[in-house]
Structure 1
Amino acid sequence: MCSNSVKWSGFDKRLRGTGNQKKSNNPNLHCCENTFYQFSESIDLVQNRLVQWMGTSGFTMNKCHLKPFEFNETGRGLIAAMNIYAGDSLIEVPCSLIITSRTVMSSYLKDSIKSFRLTPLAALCVFLVCERCRGSSSPWHPYLLTLPYTYTVPVYWPSDLVERLPVAIKQRVLDQRKTVHKLYNKCQKIFNDVGQFCDELKDNDISIQDFIWAWGTVNTRCVYWLQKPDPDLEPDGEDHYALVPFLDMLNHSHQAQVTAGYNERSKSYKISTDTAYSAGQQVFINYGPHSNMKLLLEYGFILENNPNNVIHIGEEDFLSALQNHRDVSFLHLIYDNDLYNYKSRWFDCMEENYYVSVSHKTATRGILFRLLHIKMQQFQYEMQDPHDPLEKIISKLCADYQQIVRLCLQGM
């Protein structure tokens, strides 16, 4: 465990809510109240210390119409400090304050990362872990103190909660965990290598929890800024990760319309809004047209009324239903080729138009009809603690799946 990091105290204690959050009636706000994100800095310290530190690199509040605020519905976010009109600039952050792969490859980590050929994502994770371990010696220390030290992405969830997720989502969570652990195992050699020439890292035993924190930070807080490929990094799709202090406190709404990206004139990352806000309102950006599964896996929350929601009912859902149903005698009526056709198809059911793609073969329709009945019963979920935010997420996801299964039955 990094000597300068906040100690971990078990999954349940970190992730479960206090039970006293106010319920939001705003359908645009996510139903996972991130008041159980845990921060090491108060909102006042963020406002003062972070802004003061950023000011030494050219950041000025004169170009920022926002200030940090703790919201009942969404936790920490940014509020409009004055009336904001469509077309206004929300914030400009100088490039020197932004952490990208270019930042990493210009640091003391360059040679080690080059030797082990990391992806841009892994390189950023290594950089964050190492800088966090350096404590006040790190030039990024004032920014790192503003970051949560735990996140609500399912990688953090205890196994009993993961088991209650719909099968398709649960499998994605398990795959995600394997990916993170695989990255950590690869990066351990780099941590040992860096410790040989960085005094602050010599005696630090960087754990999987430390690495998951870094991965969660990159995954949940980065904005999109496409970088030129670095020949010393392993190519893994686009290199578009950028951590932007202060700006990364903006929360998501599917209704927000913004223009964001690098501004050549000001040499900064700039966000302008096409949505007007009154002074005192929370200001949002749009992370993209993501389904609830995508939002949960990548950011740790879901939307109560998400117009972009897509439910994927795949082969694993039906096979799981079979394994949990004793009466499978009807399967002898299904020819092997028909069963093959069934197993090779997916359903993409969108809440907006309820489009369902199915096989036209009568035998396949028969097995699906029976399995869907079984599956609808399986998605019945009773919350053990109605005040637990994570229980609310699972209940909502199961209800969505049950609704789509019911629609499938109606269309057969």
Structure 2
Amino acid sequence: MIEWSKNKSIKWNEKLIVHSFPEGRGVIANEDILENEILVSVPLQWLIHSKCKFSHDNIHITNNNTPRIVNLNTIIDNLDSKQRISFHLIFERLLGSNSNWFEYLEHVPSEYFTTSMFTDEEIQSMVYPIFINEAKKLKNEMMDSYKRYCIVLEKYFNLNEEMHINGVNNWSCNVKLLMDLDLFKWSCGVIKTRSYYYDRNLVTQQNSQKRLQSTTNVVEDKDDCTIVPLADLFNHSSSVDTEAKFNDRMNCYQVRTKTSFKKGDQVLISYGKHSNFTLLNFYGFVVENNSLDSITLDPKEAIPEYLFTETISNSLQLKRKYEILSQYGLSLTNGKFEVINDSQQPFTWNYLTTLRVLLLTPKELDKKKETMIFYNDESPSIENDKLLSNLLRPIIENHLSLLVDNTTPPIKKRFEIDYLLKSTKEIWEKCLNYINNL
């Protein structure tokens, strides 16, 4: 693949070598890599995005009726941005050695293990309702996209037709493979796990989105990603700093490290600051001892209704509490209500502070005790601590109970799921320990 890239004017940093690690492929520094070095630079023509060119635009369709020519660009005009990339990936893979991306696609993994790829049994083995519901949602979104994708393609093809390309000998393919579910899932895995942010197509998205809404009644997601050949060889670390963007002056996509690496080090890039659940959903792996682990709570659960139910006796106090929250940029509707992997304070500051303000007594409001919360970062009173503990305890205990696998016998789990459940349980145990020490 590196040799292929040289023939395509892709600039791969010569200090880097591809290496096979026990957990998979990665990249090692053959010499010291300095801060701000470019790791890979890929010309525009080799990016795979919603508006890139096909190796062959026109295909000849044959069946028992009259042969005809179909222009692929006509078809993809009626697909959303991610579906267009899926179609491109599937078609180029079916082309085999006739594809301009053959040597690259030949090395792209054939299977992906994000939660949208899980079987129904694997999803149920996640036990925790927060995980199960999100995994189901992501899988349903993928399957819904597949159904809409097939509806569009079926307008142009019959399943018994064959594709040919003028001037390409000994290549033909049944059109039903363009709608093969396994190939579609593979393409979704490639997009989800290997794409980079790419904003050049966002400018022209508005008009195409209007057209899509009129034909599919579905609002398109942002046309904001691209596959960058070779740039997907790097593994992830949240502790490094990376810059990845299109260079308009050079007309290429560049991945630049803001972190230096010594000779012999694995060269890593950052996919972003993500919890293990997010990493599993979108990249198919988890990280041991992930300091960024967190669980987002439903606002209805995080803030019990009685705290903001207005009555004749509390209306003025509640109004004052809302004013305090607003003054410091806090809100009941868009707050960050999370528990996090932090032994000292396993609740986000936003969440804990919102609760403390809502739990202020009339006397504490009169004495402006909120200043202790915001200026001293302290509890306003022992009573506030007790009220906070009493509020949080049933929430914590409920989540700990939800993490127990009550199936008999327990469902066998993937390592990633098992680790995710254990680390999530540890976070909630940290929460319990925190309130016990208030």
Normalising by the residue count of structure 2, what TM-score does the alignment of the two structures yield? 0.67
What is the Cα deviation at residue 176 of structure 1?
0.5
Q: Which moved more, 1:373-382 or 1:238-247?
A: 373-382
What is the Cα deviation at residue 394 of structure 1?
3.5
What is the Cα deviation at residue 368 of structure 1?
5.8
Amino acid at match of 1:160: E
Q: Which moved more, 1:389-398 or 1:259-268?
A: 389-398
Q: Within the alignment, does 1:204 sit opposite 2:142 as a pair?
A: no
The aligned runs of 1:6-25 (5 Å cut-off) are none
The one of 223, 228, 235 aligned to 1:239? 223
In the comparison of the two structures, how many residue pairs are matched?
A: 341
SS at match of 2:199: coil
The aligned runs of 1:169-188 (5 Å cut-off) are 169-188=131-150
What is the Cα deviation at residue 105 of structure 1?
8.2
Structure showing greater Rg = 2
What is the Cα deviation at residue 258 of structure 1?
2.0
The 8 Å contact of residues 168 and 314 in structure 1, kept in 2 or not, is answered as no
Change (3 A) 1:128 1:404: farther
State the distance in 2 between where 1:400 and 1:224 align: 33
Match of 1:377 in 2: 401
The 8 Å contact of residues 384 and 391 in structure 1, kept in 2 or not, is answered as no
Match of 2:339 in 1: 349
Change (3 A) 1:55 1:370: closer
Instruction: For residues 140-172 of structure 1, give each alpha carbon's deviation from its aligned partner in whole angstroms, at most 9, with x where no partner exists.
Output: 222111111111201222333322322112111
The one of 428, 432, 437 aligned to 1:402? 428
The one of 8, 20, 23 aligned to 1:70? 20
Instruction: For residues 347-372 of structure 1, give each alpha carbon's deviation from its aligned partner in whole angstroms, at most 9, with x where no partner exists.
Output: 41233443344464999986763453
Change (3 A) 1:289 1:394: closer
The aligned runs of 1:4-403 (5 Å cut-off) are 50-61=1-12, 63-72=13-22, 74-103=23-52, 107=57, 108-114=71-77, 116=78, 118-165=79-126, 166-192=128-154, 193=156, 198-199=163-164, 200-205=172-177, 206-228=179-201, 229-230=204-205, 231-232=207-208, 234=212, 236-314=220-298, 338=306, 347-352=337-342, 353-354=345-346, 355=348, 356-357=351-352, 358=355, 360=359, 369-370=393-394, 372-380=396-404, 389-403=415-429
Amino acid at match of 2:16: L
Change (3 A) 1:237 1:408: farther
State the distance in 2 between where 1:317 and 1:64 align: 53
SS at match of 2:52: helix
Identical-residue share of aligned pairs (%): 21
Match of 1:24 in 2: none
What is the Cα deviation at residue 218 of structure 1?
0.2
For structure 2, the 5+ residue unaligned runs are 58-70, 165-171, 213-218, 310-331, 361-385
Q: Which moved more, 1:175-184 or 1:286-295?
A: 286-295
The 8 Å contact of residues 167 and 316 in structure 1, kept in 2 or not, is answered as no
What is the Cα deviation at residue 265 of structure 1?
3.6
Change (3 A) 1:51 1:315: same
What is the Cα deviation at residue 90 of structure 1?
1.5
Change (3 A) 1:119 1:102: same
Change (3 A) 1:370 1:267: closer
State the distance in 2 between where 1:410 and 1:346 align: 23
State the distance in 2 between where 1:259 and 1:394 align: 29
Instruction: For residues 23-44 of structure 1, give each alpha carbon's deviation from its aligned partner in whole angstroms, at most 9, with x where no partner exists.
Output: xxxxxxxxxxxxxxxxxxxxxx
Match of 2:64 in 1: none
Amino acid at match of 1:202: N
The 8 Å contact of residues 381 and 398 in structure 1, kept in 2 or not, is answered as no
Aligned Cα root-mean-square deviation (Å): 3.6
The 8 Å contact of residues 64 and 92 in structure 1, kept in 2 or not, is answered as no
Instruction: For residues 266-314 of structure 1, give each alpha carbon's deviation from its aligned partner in whole angstroms, at most 9, with x where no partner exists.
Output: 3221122221112221111111122222211111112223333221233
What is the Cα deviation at residue 214 of structure 1?
0.7
For structure 1, the 5+ residue unaligned runs are 1-49, 319-333
State the distance in 2 between where 1:269 and 1:92 align: 6
